[in-house]
Amino acid sequence: MPSPPRSPRRGISLVPPWVGYWLLFSAVISLQEAAFLYLRPASLPGGDLARFFPHYAAYIQMDGLFRDMSDRTLRLLSAASLVEVPLQLLVAAYAVPASAGLSAATLALTALAATVVKTGLFLAYDWPHMQPTAAGGWGRVVVVAAAAPWLVVPGVGIVAVHRRLRLVLGSKEYKSA
């Protein structure tokens, strides 16, 4: 009886499980943010759904864009997040059990890069709307600090996936498979 073919990845998941957990967490946050934005004014303080978004009551004091019902750019960025969510969940489904192959690694790099780009665009667009005098003069710092994990963690995730790809794809065993 022939033995099963050896995995060119040597059993190594190309996407670290922590990246899958991050993408899962990020998907939940993206869904919550989109719900807050698309359900305004009911989600704003005093609205019927405000009890589901208590943390935004403080955040909108520092970030005027989240209060601005006429601005469509934030909704557009949130729509981009909603497009990203299924991709994040798909990668998480492969990464968490540590079975991610090349296609999952490609999707992970795409999702992580999209998160960095979207967050960067959000901060660039949002900068003039931030209330620098809020939170005792720390309004902009708080808004940037709240967005920073969506720049730093995906950036580290990109490096981690890239390292695993280099490790596996650069191996002699993979090249001969």
Cis omega before residue 41 (within 30°)?
yes
pLDDT at 107 over 50: yes
Quick: pLDDT tens for 46-78.
Answer: 999 999 999 998 888 888 888 888 888 888 888
Asked if residues 18 and 154 have their Cβ atoms less than 8 Å apart, the reply is no
pLDDT, residue 108, reads: 92
In the structure encoding, which two tokens stand for residue 37, read together? Answer: 């934005």
| Predicted local distance difference test score (pLDDT) of residue 175 | 55
Query: What span, in angstroms and rounded, lies between the C-alpha atoms of 91 and 49?
Result: 31
CA end-to-end distance (rounded Å), the chain: 20
Report whether pLDDT(155) > 50: yes
Cα-based angle 121, 52, 69 (whole degrees, multiple of 5): 45
Say yes or no to pLDDT of 106 above 70.
yes
Question: Which phi and psi angles does 130 have, rounded to 5°?
Answer: -70, 145
Per-residue pLDDT of 15-36, as tens digits, reads 999 999 999 999 999 999 999 9
Does the pTM of the predicted model rise above 0.85? no
